[in-house]
A and B are shown apart, each in its own frame.
Chain A
Amino acid sequence: MDNQDPHQKSQDLTSSSSSRGFTLAEVLINSVVLLLIMAGIMVVMSQSQRSYSRQYQLMKASRVARMSMHQIQSFLRQAGNDPSGIGLVPVTRDNANQLTIRSDVTGSIGTGITATGEPDGTLDNLYEQVTISYVPVNDQLVITTSAGGTPQILANDIVELQWTFYDLSGTPNPAADADIARVAIRMAVETETDLETGTVNTLTLESEAMLRSQSFQFFE
């Protein structure tokens, strides 16, 4: 601690040299420098914010696409599961944008859509007759998880969905739905519009699913 004489302190405070404020030039220069620094920081922050926003949107889009793809693949893989031999057609192409996927996978316990247990020889339970529709107007992927069920949005911002069908020998687009053995899926998801830049990023995923029931050879 500086035990300075109070008189001396008073003298210092009242002296002309110490009471002199900043000149206008000093304040202006100071302000300009500060403004420049702040501008730089703002630029960095803005870019960081933009980068964060872009990454976040991409991540969100990627998540949506992956989850949707995963779910569709899962349904396609077991399409045609028919241990009771009810003679179902695993996949039907309802129209260019809609598929219906069938498999007898549950239902031996309880009644109604949410019945559980083993395959029961019907297609009236959850996930046994799944319809997947692409609605280009709304950029939506819509799923109906049971016959006559309520359509639900599986994913938004889907700007492209293409499925290509192959038979067991690899020939594309077999005439009969019953011959579909493999489905290639191409899905493009768009991120939300960046409010600052107005840009939209698109993420494309491609994958294939083999219908196991259709791929069984005479002996495997």
Chain B
Amino acid sequence: MKIMKPGRPKAWHGVRFQECPGPDSRHNERGVALVTVVICSVVLTLLGLALTFSSLTDFSMNAELEAHDKALKVADSGFQLAKTVFRGNELTALLTASATVSKYLNYAEPGADPALAYFKRNPMAPVEAVNIDFNNAPTPIGTRNLNGLLAPPAGVTTSIVGGYTFGLVNPADPSSLYLAKLTDNVDDADLLTDLDGEVILRVMGISPGASSESTSWGTKTQNSIALIEAAVKRDITLALSAPFTVYGPAVGPAQGATIFGGNSFDLDGFNHPGMTLVDMEAGGGNHATFHAGTSSGFTAVYDDSGGGDADDLINDICTDLSGVQEGNIAGDVTTNCGNASVSDGTQEIRDNPNNDAENIFNANYVMNIVLSTPAIADNTYANNSNTNGANLGSDAAPQITFCEGDCQFGGGTSGAGLLVVRGRLTLNGNFAFRGLVLVVGDGEMNVGGNNNGILGGVFTAKMNDLGSGNWGYGTPAVSISGNSDFYFQGSGINLGYTSLPLKILSWREVLREQEPY
């Protein structure tokens, strides 16, 4: 190596070249190239970094949106699942069901101010739902009791963390968690007792670990959540108050010349709280033991704007009944049918404090229920079907059964829930059903043979198609003979109409800024 002349560097021209021999000059040139390359690299790196940071910001925003969208979809799917829990269950029973869950954060809960009741509608405090790492849940700092948490329905995969039983809307995706909770609406000051059939269902969808955002709790936001709220209503139009209700201006026989045949049939409007399906299959069993007395044995309904309501219909029934047969229709209401308990229920419906009861006067409304049933039915029978030995549900698992036209059941068929028949319903021996039977359409019901029993209520109505989607009530036809028993049971009727899904009155997404807690 050669040592360059010491001293202050000279001007770029000449001296430097003079001082530096050839090889050193080339070294300097390489230095210039290096500097150029470094500068270029730095500039390009800066550009790349800027784009990368911008992309990361965009990615982060996109991830937030995506996580929230997923949580919203999970909540919405969870909502569909949660609705199925209502089947066959009383709303107040669901509202008051209690669960003990873990408390993770020591946040202040709002007091008893009714205006802050919304906090109690949440299945989980949002601040907890956002912060808890569901894969590695922290140690709880206590417990709290919650009412109205809805357990995921049977068949839904669950994940249990801290006493909360989360449902997975996608069994293969452990990050598709939902929680549902039911509270009462503002029909009274109490969020646990339903008075009007309307309740508030909140479903929280949780998409865990999608974002990281600092919170005032000093923790990191682990999850993205979405909270949806729907006001849902149970339709009480079909909450009948008699074992057999006929709607129409009149009624005729479905078979032969008379409505009633023989002396062995039994229509009883008394309560039968202890009666079971087995009792009924035995042909009445303990029936006589449970005379509590609330309903008539046969109710006629007709909303006659001209006055008189169901007078003509009652007259048809009374004219058909022989003196002996009158005793087969029992109840706490007696009218002008001798000993038979046959009543006009029209005014009672008008007087019901729940205005929904009057929907039964609206043929379109009732037919809407019937027409909506096939889509939600568990069992569907084609026109002219003849079924023996079928299982149409049980008390624990009521089902919806729909007959598209004429249907005959017998031969040991039993069931519970809701039976809807658009054509003629024929029961011919050994049919036992607890629930609600709707014979709405052709409005023909022909019951005969041995051991036909319905514990709950029957509603028969003829529907005339008026065109353009409109319907009007016509004259139904009923024949009751043989050893056929119809026993009123409020809980049986409830089992029937509570099998129907709840109506959704409203839907919204609850935003953080709308609910300070």
Which residues from chain A sit less than 8 Å from chain B, CB to CB?
A: 1-2, 4, 9, 12-13, 18-19, 21-22, 30, 34, 37-38, 41, 44-45, 48-49, 52, 55-56, 59, 62-63, 66-67, 70, 74, 77-78, 80-83, 85, 103, 105-106, 108-109, 116-119, 126-127, 212-213, 216-220
A67 to chain B, nearest CB (A): 8
| Known pairs A55-B51, A83-B231, A118-B118; A12 contacts B2 (CB<8 A) | yes
B390 at the interface (CB under 8 A from A): no
Decide if A83 touches B505 in the complex (CB within 8 Å).
yes
- Bitwise interface map of B from 120 to 154 toward A, beta carbon under 8 Å scored 1, else 0: 00000000000000000000000000000000000
B residues 402-448 in Cβ contact with A at 8 Å:
none
Assess whether B514 is in contact with A22, with CB atoms less than 8 Å apart.
Answer: no
- Please list 25 pairs of residues, one from A and one from B, whose beta carbons are closer than 8 Å in the complex, sorted by A's number: A2-B1, A2-B2, A2-B3, A4-B2, A12-B2, A12-B21, A13-B5, A21-B17, A44-B44, A52-B50, A56-B50, A56-B51, A56-B54, A59-B58, A63-B58, A83-B231, A105-B508, A108-B118, A119-B506, A213-B507, A216-B507, A218-B372, A219-B369, A219-B503, A220-B501
A18's nearest neighbour on chain B, judged by CB, is: B21
Contacts of B19 in A (CB 8 A): 13
Q: How far is the CA of A8 from the CA of B204 in the complex (A)?
A: 89
CB distance from A171 to the nearest CB of B (A): 16
Q: B286: CB under 8 A from chain A?
A: no
Q: Please name all residues of chain A whose beta carbon is closer than 8 Å to the beta carbon of B508 when the two chains form the complex.
A: 78, 81, 103, 105, 119
**Considering residues B3, B368, B514, which has the most beta carbons from chain A within 10 angstroms of its beta carbon?**
B514
CA distance A45 to B32 in the complex (A): 18
Q: Are A37 and B36 in contact, with the CB atoms below 8 A?
A: yes
- In the complex, what residues of B have CB within 8 A of residue A217's CB? 372, 375
Chain B positions within 8 Å of A, measured between CB atoms, are 1-3, 5, 14, 17-19, 21-22, 25, 29, 32-33, 36, 40, 43-44, 47, 50-51, 54-55, 58, 61-62, 65, 83, 115-118, 185, 231, 368-369, 371-372, 375-376, 500-509, 511, 513-516
A78–B510 CA distance with the chains assembled, in angstroms: 10
Report how far A13 CA is from B6 CA in the complex, Å: 12
- A154 CA / B61 CA spacing, docked (Å): 17
Whether A41 contacts B40 by the Cβ 8 Å rule is yes
Q: Give B14 Cβ to nearest chain A Cβ, in Å.
A: 6
* Bound CA–CA A181/B19 (angstroms): 87
> In the assembled complex, how far is the CB of residue A93 from the closest CB belonging to chain B, in whole angstroms?
22
Residue pair A30, B29 in contact (C-beta under 8 Å): yes
* Distance to closest chain A CB from B463 (angstroms): 16
* A216-B504 CB under 8 A given contacts A9-B3, A48-B44, A105-B514: yes
Assembled-state Cα–Cα distance A19/B22 (Å): 9
Give the complex CA separation of A109 and B113 in angstroms: 10
| Most B-side CB within 10 Å, residue of A2, A38, A85, A220 | A220
CB distance from B367 to the nearest CB of A (A): 10
B13, closest chain A residue (CB): A21
With A and B bound together, what is the CA distance between A77 and B73 in angstroms? 12
With A9-B3, A21-B14 known as contacts, the answer to whether A74 contacts B58 (CB < 8 A) is: no
- Chain A contacts of B36 at CB under 8 A? 37-38, 41
Known: A22-B25, A48-B44, A78-B508. Is A218-B369 also a contact (CB below 8 A)?
yes
Contact B503 A216 (CB under 8 A): yes
